[in-house]
C-alpha cells in the first residue's frame, strides 16, 4: 500500500522528491533534536494523483485521520477544540523552492467558538485579558483572510480594504494598534466579504477547513504564477508539491513574541556574521510583507538574549550539518524559540565563490565539493563590469540583453564614425537597426552595441559575445534613423550619451557610472595589489586552480588577431581553436578581394592573390607569436565571397544614376555583373567553405602558403609554431583530399627543413560529414566540430532568422528548454558529434577532437563535450575562464 503521509520524525533531508524541500528539511531538523513544532507531510505523490484525478487519492483520508490523531495526542489538544484548540498551518513545499509562488494557510482550526478557547489558552498563566483576546481575534481574522484568498479565490484586496478602513476609523496606522474589539468587528466584516464572494458562510468545521486547505495547496501547484515561474526556472511541471501540516506556534502573542528570518552567512557577499530581520509581536508573512519596519537580527540580543543565543547555536549546528549557507525562518512564542523552516540558501555569484572557499578553509568541505558549489554562469557574471545603480537611474527603453556588461558612450550611427571617435579616445555606443559584417570595425571600436532588431543570435549579438563586448539588441520600441533614434518621446542624436546594460537589456540616457570587475583584473594579471587579498579574488584563484588540476578537457580560444590571442592566453587559453581568416579581408583589403573576384584573366587573379598573401602572412605571424608553443587552428576562408561585395541594390542604383548623368561607370558595371552572377538564393548553403577552395583557383593555396611561411618565420626567430590548417564545410572525404593534396605540396615546398610541422584537418559542421566521419578521418589529422552550422543544418534552422521568428513558441511548448544555438542539443546534434567522434577515432585513433562553435563556452555543453571524450573546447577569450571552470566541474 502507498504511504502518503510522513510524520516529521519519519523523513530526512534526502527525501526532497517525496516530501518537498520544506518537509524534508523540517524532518531533518526534527531528527537533529532542534525545536520544530510537531507535524507531518503529505507527499508530492498524493498531490500528483490529486491533480490527475481531481480528488484525494484512495487511502489518503484514512492516513490523514491517523496522523492528525497522532499530532493531537502529542500536543494534548484537539484540532479546533472550542475550549482548548489545536491550530495548524497548512504549507506548500515543492522539491525546488519556488518562493512566494504557492500557498500557505495559518491558524487552521479557528472558528467562532474556538477563538474564545484560543484566548483562554493564551491567558493560561498570564494576568489580564485584553492582550489575549486581541491575539485570538487577530489570529482568526488572519485565517479568514488567508483561507478566503487561497482556498476560495476571494480577491485579497477586499480584505485589505476592510483592514485599512478599520485603521482609518480608529485613526491609527499600525495593525498592532487595533484592539480586541476592533478585530472582532473586523472578523465580522471579513466574513461578509467571504460569503459575498463564495456564496456560503466561512466554514466553521475545523476538519473541513483542514481538508479544503490541503486541496488548495495541491491546486496552487498549477496557479498561473507558479506555472510561469517553473517555466523560467526550468523546473519540471509534473513534480507536484508536498503539503506540510504543522502545529501553530505564535509570534503574535505580545512583545515577548515575534518572528524572523536569518542567514548563516551574508547571502550577498558570503561574509560570516549575523544576517536577518526580526519583527516583534508578529505572525508569519509580516516580516517579508514589509507591513512594519523590521529590526536587524542583531537587536534580538537585547530583546531576548536567551532565544538569541539559542538561535546562534542552532545556526552553527545547521551549517555544520548541511556544510553550507542555510537560511532560516523562526518564531519566538513568549520567549520560546521555534524553528519553522531551513534550507540551503540562495546566494549571489560572489557569495557562492566566497562561501565555497571559506568552507574549504574551515575544513567543512573538500576542494572537489567546493567546485560543485560554483558555476561557470556565476563566474561569467563576476567578469562583467557593472553599473553602479545607487543613483537609481530610469531606463528609456529595453531590448534583449545579448552580451552582458555595462557600457556607456556617445551615440554614433555608423561604423566609420565609431572608428573616428574611438581614435580620439572617445567612448562610443554604436547604434544600428541591425549590424552586418561591414560594421565590424565600428563594433570593435565601440564600447557597446545597441540595435533595434534581431535576437540573441543576430549578427550583433553573436559577434559582440565573441568579443566580450556589451550588446543590447532587438530594442524594438526604438525608431533608428540615419542620424538619430527616438523612443518613448526621447530623441537621441549623435554625440548624446547613453548607457546600456547587456545583462538586463536596459538602456539609459546619460552616463551611469561603471565599476570594473576585479575578477577580470585578476585574470588579466594586472590586479591592484590592494585587492589581492579580497576574499572573492582569493576564492576565484583557489577554485580556478583546482579546476585546472581536475579537468581533462583543454581549453582553447577563438581569436582572429594577435591582441585577442594574447588576452585569451592570459585568461588561460591553451591554443587557438579557431582563427577565422575572413575578418582579415575586411577594411582596406576589401579592394584586393574585389580585384580577386572581378579578375577576368588568370594573371589578374594571381596578382590579386599575390597582393593579399603577405598581408595574411603578417596576420598569422602575429597570432603564432602570441601563441608560441601552443597549437593554432587556422580556418581557410569560409563565407560566400559576395559578402565582400557591395549590395546588389546599392550598385544597381549607383550604375543607373551614373548612366543618367552620362558618366563612365565601367568598374561599377563590371561589379554589378559580378554581383548578379554570384547572387545566391540561399548563400549559407551555397558557394562557401571548401567549395570556394575547389572553385576559385589559388585561393586556398595562397592562404596555405601564408600560414606555412608565417610558421617558418617564427621558427627562424627561435619560436615554436604549431599551425593546424582547417578546411570548413567539408561533407565528403573527396573534398578534403583534393584540398589536402594541393596543400601538402605547398607546405613541403615552404617548410623545407625548418622543422615546422603543419597539421591538416577539417571542421565537422555538415551533417553528412558527421555521418561519414570514418571516411573523412582518413584525410584529417583533426576534427573540429562547428556546432553553430551543425545545429543550423541539423535542425534546418537559419540561425539568422529563426530566433526572433518562432523560438518563443518552441520554448513555450517545451520543444526545447533553451535555444539549441546557445546550448548543444544533446539528443540530435549531440548525437552527430558522438557518432563522428567514435567513427573518426575508429579510423584514426590519435585523431584530435575539438569544438569551436559558440557552444564551446556554454557550461552545459562543456559537460557534454567532456562526456563525449573531446580533447578540447574553443571559445571566445572571455569565456575561457568559464570553460576552464566547467571542464573542471565536469571531471568531478
Ligand atoms: P513560504 O514557503 O512562502 O515561505 P511558509 O509555508 O514557510 O511559506 O509559511 C509562511 C509563513 O508562515 C512563514 O513566515 C512561516 O514561518 C509561517 N508559519 C508557517 N507555519 C507556521 C506555524 N506552524 N507556526 C507559526 N508560523 C508558521
Ligand atoms: Mg517559508
Ligand atoms: Mg561554419
Contact 79, 72 (CB under 8 A): yes
Supply the residue whose CA is at minimum distance from atom 22 of ligand 1: 248
* Atom 18 (ligand 1) nearest CA: 284
Instruction: State mean pLDDT over 189-193.
Output: 97
CATH no., domain 258-344: 3.30.470.20
What average pLDDT does this structure show over 487-502? 94
Task: Compute, in angstroms, the gap from residue 153 CA to the centroid of ligand 2.
Answer: 21
What pLDDT, on the 0 to 100 scale, is given for residue 527? 79
> Is 789 marked as a binding-site residue?
yes
pLDDT in tens, 326-383: 999 999 999 999 999 999 988 888 899 999 999 999 999 999 999 999 999 899 989 9
76 Cα to the center of ligand 2, angstroms: 26
Q: What percentage of residues in the chain have a pLDDT greater than 90?
A: 71
pLDDT (0 to 100) of residue 392: 85
Mean pLDDT within 182-198? 97
Contacts of 398 (CB under 8 A, 6+ apart): 475, 477, 504, 505, 506, 507
Ligand 1 atom at minimal distance to the Cα of residue 286: 14
Say whether pLDDT at 310 is over 80. yes
Q: Is the pLDDT of residue 468 over 80?
A: no
Give the whole-angstrom CA distance, residue 405 versus residue 384.
5
Distance CA 509, CA 393 (A): 9
Say if residue 43 carries a ligand binding annotation: no
Contact 264, 271 (CB under 8 A): no
From the CA of 690, the nearest ligand is 3
Cα distance between residue 446 and residue 436, in whole Å: 15
Q: Is 285 in the pocket of ligand 1 (CB under 6 A)?
A: yes
The mean pLDDT of 147-170, rounded to a whole number, is 93
Per DSSP bridges, beta strands 782-785 and 848-851 are parallel
Which-ligand-closest: CA of 330? 1
Higher pLDDT, 125 or 448: 448
Sign of CA dihedral 429, 433, 435, 440: negative
Q: Is 374 in contact with 353 (CB distance < 8 Å)?
A: yes
- Give the Å distance between the CA of 91 and the centre of ligand 1: 7
- Give the pLDDT confidence score for residue 125 in this predicted structure: 62
d(CA 724, CA 293): 65
Q: At what angle do helices 180-198 and 130-152 cross, to 10 degrees?
A: 20
| pLDDT given at position 890 | 98
Candidates 3.30.70.1060, 3.40.30.10, 3.40.309.10, 3.20.20.60; CATH matching 551-640+680-890: 3.20.20.60
Mean local confidence (pLDDT), 160-183:
91
The CB-side HSE value for 545 (13 A sphere, CA atoms) comes to 9
d(CA 98, ligand 2 centre) in Å: 10
Establish whether 580 is an annotated binding residue.
yes
Distance CA 191, CA 162 (A): 11
On the question of pLDDT at 585 being above 70, the answer is: yes
Site to probe by mutation for ligand 1, drawn from 35, 89, 225, 345 as the one with most ligand atoms within 8 Å of Cβ, is 89
787 labelled ligand-binding: yes
91 pocket-lining for ligand 1 (C-beta < 6 Å):
yes
Atom of ligand 1 minimally distant from the CA of 287: 14
Mean pLDDT of 738-756: 97
**Residue whose entry in the numeric block shows the C-alpha cell 502518503:** 4
Neighbours of 418 (CB within 10 A): 29
Nearest bound ligand to CA 285? Answer: 1
pLDDT reported for residue 590: 84
Binding site membership of 340 for ligand 1 (Cβ less than 6 Å): yes
Looking at residues 36-44, what average pLDDT do you find? 98
- 248 pocket-lining for ligand 1 (C-beta < 6 Å): yes
Asked if residue 383 has its Cβ within 6 Å of ligand 1, the reply is no
**For residues 863 and 401, what is the distance between their CA atoms, to the nearest angstrom?**
25
Taking the centre of ligand 1 as the mean of its atom positions, its distance from the CA of residue 411, in whole angstroms, is 51
pLDDT-derived band at 619, boundaries 50, 70, 90: very high
Ligand 1 probe mutation, 244, 329, 333, 334, most atoms within 8 A of CB: 329
Which ligand sits closest to the CA of 764?
3
Least Cα distance to 469 among 523, 524, 430 occurs for 430
Query: Is 106 close to ligand 1, i.e. is its CB under 6 Å away?
Result: yes
Nearest Cα residue to 707 out of 638, 640, 618, 784:
618
d(CA 191, ligand 1 centre) in Å: 23
Q: Which grid coordinates belong to 539?
A: 576564492
User: Residue 532 pLDDT > 80, yes or no?
Assistant: no
Q: What is the pLDDT of residue 809?
A: 79
Atom of ligand 1 nearest to the CA of 100: 3
Return the CATH number of the domain spanning residue range 385-516.
3.50.30.10
pLDDT at residue 290 above 70? no
Ligand with an atom nearest the CA of residue 287: 1
DSSP 8-state secondary structure symbol assigned to residue 57? P
> 328, 339 in Cβ contact below 8 A?
yes
Model pLDDT, residue 73: 96
pLDDT at 381: 85
Whole-number pLDDT of residue 273: 84
130-152 vs 156-170: helix axis angle to the nearest 10?
150
Kind plus residue range of the DSSP H or E element containing 418: helix 415-423
Instruction: Return the best residue to mutate from 104, 108, 147 for the ligand 1 pocket (most ligand atoms within 8 A of CB).
Output: 104
Which pLDDT does position 15 carry in this prediction? 96
Residue-wise DSSP of 479-510: EE-SSEEEETTEEEETT-EEEEETTT-EEEES
* Ion ligand 3 neighbours, Cβ < 5 Å: 765, 786, 789
800: Cβ contacts below 8 Å, ≥ 6 apart: 457, 458, 459, 684
Nearest atom within ligand 1 for CA of residue 91: 6
Identify the pLDDT of residue 457.
60
Residue nearest to atom 27 of ligand 1 (CA): 284
- Asked which of 380-384, 618-622, 702-706, 873-877 is least confident by mean pLDDT, the reply is 380-384
Q: Is 74 helix (H, G, I), strand (E, B) or coil?
A: helix
May I ask the CATH architecture of the domain 5-247?
2-Layer Sandwich (3.30)
Identify the pLDDT of residue 662: 84
* 432 has binding-site annotation: no
pLDDT given at position 232: 60
Q: Is 89 in the pocket of ligand 1 (CB under 6 A)?
A: yes
pLDDT digits (tens, 9 = 90+) for 865-892: 999 999 999 999 999 999 999 999 999 9
Ligand 2 center from residue 102 Cα (angstroms): 11
CA atoms within 13 A on the CB side of 335: 4
Give per-residue pLDDT as tens, 631-652. Answer: 999 999 999 888 888 888 888 8
Condensed to tens digits (0 to 9), the pLDDT of residues 215-260 reads 999 999 998 878 877 876 678 888 999 999 999 999 988 889 999 9
pLDDT at 466 over 70: no
Interval between CA 841 and ligand 3 midpoint (Å):
22
Residue 517 Cβ inside 6 Å of ligand 1? The answer reads no
Q: Determine the residue of 22, 26, 91 to mutate for testing ligand 1's pocket, defined as the one with the most ligand atoms within 8 A of the Cβ atom.
A: 91
Taking residues 531-548, what's their average pLDDT? Answer: 92
SS3 at position 108: strand
What's the whole-number mean pLDDT along residues 262-279?
Answer: 87
Cα–Cα–Cα angle for 845, 851, 854, nearest 5°?
170
> Distance from the CA of 816 to the center of ligand 2, in angstroms?
32
Q: Is the CB of 104 under 6 A from ligand 1?
A: yes
Taking residues 527-555, what's their average pLDDT?
Answer: 92
Instruction: Examine the pLDDT at 811 and tell me if it is beyond 80.
Output: no
Q: Are 555 and 883 in contact (CB under 8 A)?
A: yes
Confidence at residue 400, expressed as pLDDT on a 0 to 100 scale: 87
Say if ligand 1 is within 6 A of residue 318 CB: no
Is 479 annotated among the ligand-binding residues?
no
Check whether 100 has a pLDDT greater than 80.
no
Quote ipTM for the complex.
0.95
| Residues with active-site annotation | 459, 852
pLDDT in the model for residue 804:
63
Each residue of 646-685: pLDDT tens digit? Answer: 888 888 888 888 888 888 778 888 888 888 888 888 888 9
Per domain, the residue ranges of the chain are 5-247, 258-344, 385-516, 551-640+680-890, 641-679
Q: Which of 432, 436, 467 is nearest to 449 (CA)?
A: 432
Q: Using an 8 Å Cβ cutoff, are 625 and 714 in contact?
A: yes
Ligand 2 centroid–CA 39 distance in Å is 15
Q: Which atom of ligand 1 is nearest to the CA of 102?
A: 3
Identical fold for domains 5-247 and 258-344, yes or no, is no
Contact status, residue 465 vs residue 856, Cβ threshold 8 Å: no
Check: CB of residue 853 under 8 Å from CB of residue 875: no
SS percent in the chain: helix, strand, coil, step 5: 50, 15, 30
Burial of 222 (0-12, 13-18, 19+ CB in 10 A): middle
pLDDT digits (tens, 9 = 90+) for 67-91: 999 999 999 999 999 999 999 999 9
Q: Quick check: helix, strand or coil at residue 52?
A: helix
How is residue 191 written as a grid cell? 466574513
Percent of the chain exceeding pLDDT 70 equals 97
- Asked if 139 and 80 touch (Cβ cutoff 8 Å), the reply is no
Residue 241 assigned as binding residue: no
Q: Quick check: CB of 277 below 6 Å from ligand 1?
A: no
Indicate the pLDDT class of residue 458, thresholds 50, 70 and 90. confident
Confidence label for 129 from pLDDT (cuts 50, 70 and 90): low
256 in Cβ contact with 126 (< 8 Å): no
The ligand with the least distance to the CA atom of 638 is 3
Contact 289, 296 (CB under 8 A): no
CA dihedral of 787, 790, 794, 795, whole degrees rounded to 10: 60
Average pLDDT in the chain: 92
Please state the atom number of ligand 1 nearest to the C-alpha of residue 244: 6
In the predicted model, what is the mean pLDDT of residues 567-591? 90
Find, among 528, 483, 730, 712, the residue nearest to 620 by Cα: 712
Return the pLDDT at 1. Answer: 61
Residue 533 has a pLDDT of: 77
Amino acid at each position: 500500500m502507498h504511504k502518503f503521509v510522513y510524520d516529521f520524525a519519519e523523513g530526512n533531508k534526502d527525501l526532497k522528491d517525496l516530501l518537498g524541500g520544506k518537509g524534508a528539511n523540517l524532518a531533518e531538523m526534527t531528527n537533529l533534536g532542534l525545536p520544530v513544532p510537531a507535524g507531518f507531510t503529505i507527499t508530492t505523490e498524493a498531490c500528483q494523483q490529486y491533480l490527475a484525478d481531481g480528488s484525494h487519492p484512495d487511502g489518503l483520508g484514512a492516513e490523514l485521520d491517523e496522523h492528525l490523531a497522532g499530532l493531537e495526542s502529542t500536543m494534548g489538544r484537539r484540532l479546533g477544540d472550542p475550549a482548548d484548540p489545536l491550530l495548524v498551518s497548512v504549507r506548500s513545499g515543492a522539491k525546488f523552492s519556488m518562493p512566494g509562488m504557492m500557498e500557505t494557510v495559518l491558524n487552521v482550526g479557528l472558528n467562532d467558538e474556538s477563538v474564545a478557547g484560543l484566548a483562554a489558552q493564551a491567558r493560561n498563566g498570564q494576568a489580564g485579558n485584553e492582550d489575549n483576546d486581541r491575539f485570538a481575534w487577530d489570529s482568526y481574522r488572519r485565517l479568514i483572510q488567508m483561507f478566503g484568498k487561497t482556498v476560495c479565490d476571494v480577491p485579497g484586496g477586499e480584505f485589505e480594504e476592510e483592514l485599512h478602513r478599520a485603521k482609518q476609523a480608529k485613526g491609527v496606522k499600525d495593525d498592532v494598534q487595533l484592539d480586541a474589539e476592533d478585530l472582532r468587528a473586523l472578523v465580522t466584516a471579513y466574513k461578509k466579504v467571504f460569503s459575498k464572494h463564495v456564496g456560503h458562510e466561512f466554514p466553521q468545521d475545523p476538519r473541513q477547513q483542514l481538508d479544503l486547505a490541503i486541496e488548495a495547496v495541491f491546486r496552487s501547484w498549477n496557479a498561473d504564477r507558479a506555472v510561469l515561474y517553473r517555466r523560467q526556472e526550468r523546473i519540471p511541471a509534473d513534480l507536484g508539491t508536498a503539503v506540510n501540516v504543522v502545529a501553530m506556534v505564535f509570534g503574535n502573542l505580545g512583545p515577548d513574541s515575534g518572528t524572523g528570518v536569518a542567514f548563516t552567512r551574508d547571502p550577498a557577499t558570503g561574509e560570516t556574521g549575523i544576517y536577518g530581520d526580526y519583527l516583534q509581536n508578529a505572525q508569519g508573512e509580516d516580516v517579508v510583507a514589509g507591513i512594519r519596519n523590521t529590526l536587524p537580527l542583531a537587536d534580538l540580543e537585547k530583546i531576548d538574549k536567551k532565544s538569541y543565543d539559542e538561535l546562534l547555536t542552532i545556526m552553527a549546528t545547521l551549517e555544520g550539518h548541511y556544510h553550507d549557507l542555510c537560511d532560516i525562518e523562526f518564531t519566538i512564542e513568549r520567549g520560546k524559540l521555534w524553528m519553522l523552516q531551513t534550507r540551503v540558501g540562495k546566494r549571489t555569484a560572489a557569495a557562492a565563490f566566497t562561501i565555497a572557499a571559506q568552507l574549504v578553509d574551515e575544513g567543512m568541505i573538500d576542494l572537489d565539493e567546493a567546485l560543485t558549489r560554483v558555476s561557470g554562469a556565476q563566474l561569467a557574471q563576476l567578469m562583467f563590469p557593472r553599473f553602479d545603480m545607487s543613483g537609481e537611474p530610469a531606463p528609456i527603453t529595453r531590448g534583449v540583453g545579448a552580451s552582458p556588461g555595462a557600457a556607456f558612450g556617445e551615440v554614433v550611427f555608423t561604423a566609420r564614425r565609431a572608428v573616428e571617435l574611438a581614435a580620439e579616445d572617445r567612448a562610443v555606443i554604436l547604434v544600428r537597426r541591425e549590424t552586418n559584417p561591414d560594421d565590424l570595425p565600428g563594433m570593435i571600436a565601440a564600447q557597446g552595441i545597441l540595435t533595434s532588431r534581431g535576437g540573441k543570435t543576430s549578427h550583433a549579438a553573436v559577434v559582440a559575445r565573441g568579443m566580450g563586448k556589451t550588446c543590447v539588441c532587438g530594442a524594438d520600441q526604438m525608431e533608428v534613423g540615419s542620424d538619430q533614434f527616438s523612443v518613448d518621446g526621447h530623441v537621441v542624436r549623435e554625440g548624446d550619451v547613453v548607457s546600456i546594460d547587456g545583462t538586463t537589456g536596459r538602456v539609459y540616457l546619460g552616463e551611469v557610472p561603471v565599476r570594473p570587475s576585479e575578477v577580470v583584473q585578476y585574470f588579466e594579471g594586472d590586479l591592484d595589489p590592494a585587492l589581492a587579498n579580497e576574499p572573492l579574488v582569493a576564492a576565484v584563484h583557489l577554485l580556478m586552480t583546482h579546476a585546472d588540476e581536475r579537468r581533462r578537457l583543454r581549453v582553447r580560444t577563438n581569436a582572429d588577431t594577435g591582441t585577442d590571442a594574447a588576452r585569451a592566453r592570459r585568461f588561460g587559453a591553451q591554443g587557438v581553436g579557431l582563427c577565422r581568416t575572413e575578418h582579415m579581408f575586411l577594411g582596406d583589403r576589401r579592394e584586393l578581394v574585389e580585384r580577386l573576384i572581378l579578375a577576368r584573366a588568370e594573371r589578374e587573379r594571381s596578382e590579386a592573390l599575390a597582393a593579399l598573401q603577405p598581408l595574411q602572412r603578417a596576420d598569422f605571424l602575429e597570432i603564432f607569436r602570441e601563441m608560441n608553443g601552443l597549437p593554432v587552428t587556422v580556418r581557410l576562408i569560409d563565407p560566400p565571397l559576395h559578402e565582400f561585395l557591395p549590395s546588389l541594390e546599392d550598385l544597381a542604383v549607383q550604375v543607373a544614376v551614373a548612366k543618367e548623368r552620362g558618366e563612365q561607370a565601367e568598374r561599377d558595371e563590371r561589379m554589378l555583373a559580378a554581383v548578379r552572377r554570384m547572387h545566391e538564393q540561399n548563400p549559407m548553403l551555397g558557394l562557401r567553405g571548401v567549395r570556394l577552395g575547389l572553385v576559385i583557383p589559388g585561393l586556398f593555396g595562397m592562404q596555405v602558403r601564408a600560414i606555412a611561411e608565417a610558421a617558418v618565420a617564427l621558427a627562424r626567430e627561435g619560436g615554436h609554431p604549431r599551425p593546424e590548417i582547417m578546411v570548413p564545410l567539408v561533407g565528403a572525404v573527396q573534398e578534403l583530399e583534393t584540398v589536402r593534396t594541393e596543400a601538402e605540396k605547398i607546405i613541403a615546398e615552404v617548410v623545407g627543413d625548418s622543422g615546422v610541422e603543419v597539421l591538416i584537418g577539417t571542421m565537422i559542421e555538415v551533417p553528412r560529414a558527421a555521418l561519414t566521419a570514418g571516411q573523412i578521418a582518413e584525410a584529417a589529422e583533426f576534427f573540429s566540430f562547428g556546432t553553430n552550422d551543425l545545429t543550423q543544418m541539423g535542425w534546418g534552422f537559419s540561425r539568422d532568422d529563426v530566433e526572433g521568428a518562432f523560438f518563443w513558441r518552441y520554448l513555450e511548448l517545451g520543444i526545447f528548454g533553451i535555444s539549441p544555438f546557445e546550448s548543444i542539443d544533446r539528443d540530435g546534434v549531440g548525437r552527430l558529434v558522438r557518432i563522428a567522434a567514435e567513427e573518426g577515432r575508429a579510423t584514426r585513433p590519435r585523431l584530435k577532437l575539438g569544438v569551436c562553435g559558440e557552444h564551446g563556452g556554454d557550461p552545459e555543453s562543456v559537460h557534454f563535450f567532456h562526456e563525449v571524450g573531446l580533447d578540447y573546447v574553443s571559445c571566445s577569450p572571455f569565456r575561457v575562464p568559464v570553460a576552464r571552470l566547467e571542464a573542471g566541474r565536469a571531471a568531478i
